[in-house]
Chains A and B, each alone.
Chain A
């Protein structure tokens, strides 16, 4: 299985790791707020499904809520493997970033 992460995958995974679990709509809102650019929901869900298939996420069907018109949401939670992968990726990036001379 492909164990590397794409840029969008990495960000979505990070956003999921932020709390215990999260779902599509919330991730879109967070993404838009944090990255200040637009994204379509299917793109996010697509990434979530792919991450789940790779084993970095697991999902459960949540309770229906009124604000979603009575529809159930699917909640995603990061697995240990997911956490490790992001940790590795961030460490690698941070160590490279440390080598970059800082502008004053």
Chain B
């Protein structure tokens, strides 16, 4: 009966393997037999599943036998291991230069990988809250007549409450609102008792109380009173900024000001920001209720203004897709106008909502009005691949150098074998060496990372949150990668080295032909990868260069942008004389050429949310278009060129003038720019404007995006931004004067300004950082690869010393010998490069497609890196080769 059961169920093989690992040889037969018997018995009494689990546990528990081994002569004996280590060190000392080469190459590779790991995990850690699997961000698109009018990362104030109220799967919601987003208006906090203590705050939001829960914010002092009217919560640094200390801040009052409102707020508590990065970064939170109470129409249940960053927490396992669909239905209830259908039975106006898991926002956002820094998932994936490849290149170096060296050590292996060393003991010896080299390299790499941390932070232009030295986060992946690397890089050399034939090895006749194909393949891989990185770096740099030097269609040099005032004594049209006075006084300054005001400046992400029509109230020619409110001199200050018509000026009276760009003229159906002049346009379908000018298209946004239709309307009362064109001289002096004048004209407002070209080029910051990171790691990869080539070439030159001597005696020229020795590497690098071309071509094309305006892929992109790779590899291999080729044949013939 037993034998029948036995054939049916076998103990798990992995358990047998574990058993083998732990159990001493002497006990093996007894234990295995007993275990088999117990297993069969358990299969009968408890069933096969339980029997297998128990068998597994039995195998694991055999670990107790390891303790025995100390006094016995097993192969894991410490004396043996210390002997391995000792002879490893002797070997290192004998071949110190080659060991050094290995350690440096490996540590450079590991350092690069650690830095990349750090950068990548920082990018991945946005919104990594404990609630991340249940909290979504709500965004919405708006369509009219089947045309997309806008897509927005922010939605309406009514959406969050409606979702909680009407959708059972939604547990709770939280909104964030900031007056400075979109409008560019600033927010000022003041201590009423000390009016001098006032600052503009950008990281300030009106927030619903749940925000604390959604983003793991910790209230360290006081309580979370974001649900209470007129309460404010601060981070500790903020509290210190205003009140000197955290304790002093609690219960105190702060006054809040923006373009529209003023509140007196009581400090209810201090919160600590989480360990991960926040996509929407804030230091100050004010209870949303305060805002809602003062303007319920806009802030409570509005379905038109999309200025609210909205988060919802759903039940575990709720289907986001279903919620999105439900939301679109729900809109019909709250916006009755949306239920109207056209003749075809389709809705005229459609709002579609999207739920994005909060952790996905940073790397996958497509929104122009996304708040906070936007990363790029592709770059992150590429960097991960690069990290892996750089380390692989370093490991390949180690493998190549060690196997090439195997000839040198053949005699040692022979002697060891004669003295009775078994093959697996030799393998262990070489493993020990590989492990030690890897260990040194890792230690060195960690040292490099620790030392280089500040430099690297500077390099990527922000302090990284997570340090790769942080063992809790990186310990396990680091150690497992390290062990895997040591194993992989040690495995092949260990077997090659230990498999020498005793007799041949002792005679010194062992040839290094074994594994030469593999070595070539590995070198090919290194060169292929280096070439790829080189070409990519080249392409990225050229594209960036192109973008920076492209004519934008307006003059952004020497233009100072000054943010308009927040605290005003009067509101609305009464501001106009004050603004005019300020502008006139600015213009009277010798170093100021021109001044204009506008609601939006170039370089700001725009929303294209406005509709205009050529027919009053008519629908067919409705366009989505960008609208800027500007003063008379704004366009001339930026030196925007007109193709037809004229700029705004004071002589235009009696009607509302409008200026459009050429793109808008085409989309509105004017064939020539002149045709548009004098024509009427209707803003929002009804407000009449007359076109007075058409200006040449300029790049309002970065070259990543196409030029969109846009128009300017005139209003002297909107001074969100002052654009001031300066003459070239005495800039710093002028700035002080402007600052003084501003604070005199608009008391209570700290002046904030920057230069337009800097602001505009900030759009390329992300690409620039990526390009820098790419270039740096490309260079790193090439250095590591060259280290390996250098070692390999010097070794093979050494090996052929005698051959070269003979050749020289027979009349070979130095040049000929040089080519003989470097031929292989030249062929390999050309081959590697040829293989890299199609891959690189495809990759670059994909990348360039993301830019509306980009360079063309030309042969130059490939030729230059090719020459560079060739030059660098030749440089790496030539030094030793030339030395060997020049050697006196008498000396080289005596070699060996």
User: A residues touching B (Cβ–Cβ < 8 Å)?
Assistant: 23-25, 28-29, 38, 40-43, 45-46, 49, 66-69, 71-74
Contact A74 B64, CB 8 Å, known A66-B3, A68-B36, A69-B36? no
Whether B874 sits at the interface, judged by CB under 8 Å, is no
Q: Which residues of B contact A38 (CB under 8 A)?
A: 54
Contact yes or no, A24 B57, CB < 8 A: no
Interchain CB contact (< 8 A) of A71 among B6, B36, B62: B36
Residue ID in chain B nearest A33 by CB atoms? B45
For the complex, what is the distance from the CA of A66 to the CA of B35, rounded to whole Å?
14
For the complex, what is the distance from the CA of A46 to the CA of B37, rounded to whole Å?
17
Q: Which residues of B contact A71 (CB under 8 A)?
A: 29-30, 32-33, 36
Q: Which residues of B contact A23 (CB under 8 A)?
A: 34
Interchain CB contact (< 8 A) of A41 among B6, B35, B68: B35
Q: How far is the CB of A33 from chain B (nearest CB, A)?
A: 9
Contact yes or no, A45 B27, CB < 8 A: yes
Whether B707 sits at the interface, judged by CB under 8 Å, is no
For the complex, what is the distance from the CA of A9 to the CA of B201, rounded to whole Å?
73
Q: Which residues of A contact B61 (CB under 8 A)?
A: 40-43
Q: Interface code B588-625, partner A: CB below 8 Å = 1, 0 otherwise?
A: 00000000000000000000000000000000000000
For the complex, what is the distance from the CA of A30 to the CA of B500, rounded to whole Å?
54
Residue ID in chain B nearest A27 by CB atoms? B34
Interchain CB contact (< 8 A) of A24 among B31, B41, B62: B31
Q: Which residues of B contact A45 (CB under 8 A)?
A: 27, 30-31, 34
Whether B326 sits at the interface, judged by CB under 8 Å, is no
Whether B38 sits at the interface, judged by CB under 8 Å, is yes
For the complex, what is the distance from the CA of A1 to the CA of B2, rounded to whole Å?
42
Interchain CB contact (< 8 A) of B64 among A24, A25, A29, A46: A46
| Tally of A-B Cβ pairs under 8 angstroms | 69
Residue ID in chain A nearest B62 by CB atoms? A42
How many residues on B have C-beta within 8 angstroms of the other chain's C-beta atoms? 25
Q: Which residues of B contact A72 (CB under 8 A)?
A: 29-30, 33
Q: How far is the CB of A28 from chain B (nearest CB, A)?
A: 5
Q: Which residues of A contact B33 (CB under 8 A)?
A: 25, 68-69, 71-73
Whether B65 sits at the interface, judged by CB under 8 Å, is yes
Most A CB atoms within 10 A — which of B30, B40, B62? B30
For the complex, what is the distance from the CA of A67 to the CA of B36, rounded to whole Å?
8
Interchain CB contact (< 8 A) of B37 among A25, A40, A43, A74: A25
Majority secondary structure of chain A interface residues (helix, strand, loop or mixed): helix
Residue ID in chain B nearest A29 by CB atoms? B41
Contact yes or no, A43 B30, CB < 8 A: no
Contact yes or no, B3 A67, CB < 8 A: yes
Top 8 A-B pairs ranked by shortest CB distance? A71-B33, A25-B37, A24-B34, A68-B33, A40-B61, A25-B34, A42-B62, A74-B30
Contact yes or no, A43 B64, CB < 8 A: yes
Q: Which residues of A contact B6 (CB under 8 A)?
A: 67, 69
Contact A28 B34, CB 8 Å, known A40-B57, A40-B58, A67-B2? yes
Interchain CB contact (< 8 A) of A42 among B2, B36, B65: B65
Most B CB atoms within 10 A — which of A23, A40, A41, A69? A41
6 extra interface residue pairs, beta carbon distance < 8 Å, beyond A40-B57, A49-B68, A71-B33: A24-B31, A25-B37, A25-B38, A29-B38, A67-B2, A69-B33
For the complex, what is the distance from the CA of A55 to the CA of B769, rounded to whole Å?
74
Q: How far is the CB of B659 from chain A (nearest CB, A)?
A: 86
Q: Which residues of A contact B62 (CB under 8 A)?
A: 42
15 A–B pairs (Cβ distance < 8 Å), ordered by A = A23-B34, A25-B34, A28-B34, A29-B41, A38-B54, A41-B58, A42-B61, A42-B62, A45-B34, A67-B2, A68-B33, A69-B33, A71-B36, A72-B33, A73-B30
For the complex, what is the distance from the CA of A17 to the CA of B621, rounded to whole Å?
103
Contact A41 B64, CB 8 Å, known A29-B41, A66-B3, A67-B3? no
Q: How far is the CB of A17 from chain B (nearest CB, A)?
A: 19
Q: How far is the CB of B4 from chain A (nearest CB, A)?
A: 11
For the complex, what is the distance from the CA of A24 to the CA of B38, rounded to whole Å?
9
For the complex, what is the distance from the CA of A55 to the CA of B27, rounded to whole Å?
19
Q: B residues 1-48 with Cβ under 8 Å of A?
A: 2-3, 6, 23, 27, 29-38, 40-41
For the complex, what is the distance from the CA of A21 to the CA of B623, rounded to whole Å?
98
Q: How far is the CB of B617 from chain A (nearest CB, A)?
A: 84
Q: B residues 54-84 with Cβ under 8 Å of A?
A: 54, 57-58, 61-62, 64-65, 68
For the complex, what is the distance from the CA of A66 to the CA of B3, rounded to whole Å?
8
Residue ID in chain A nearest B41 by CB atoms? A29
For the complex, what is the distance from the CA of A38 to the CA of B62, rounded to whole Å?
15
Q: B residues 427-447 with Cβ under 8 Å of A?
A: none
For the complex, what is the distance from the CA of A69 to the CA of B33, rounded to whole Å?
7
Q: Which residues of B contact A25 (CB under 8 A)?
A: 33-35, 37-38, 41
For the complex, what is the distance from the CA of A71 to the CA of B58, rounded to whole Å?
18
Residue ID in chain A nearest B63 by CB atoms? A42
Contact yes or no, A67 B31, CB < 8 A: no
Q: Which residues of B contact A41 (CB under 8 A)?
A: 31, 34-35, 38, 58, 61
For the complex, what is the distance from the CA of A23 to the CA of B36, rounded to whole Å?
13
Most B CB atoms within 10 A — which of A29, A49, A68? A68
Residue ID in chain B nearest A59 by CB atoms? B30
Q: How far is the CB of A73 from chain B (nearest CB, A)?
A: 6
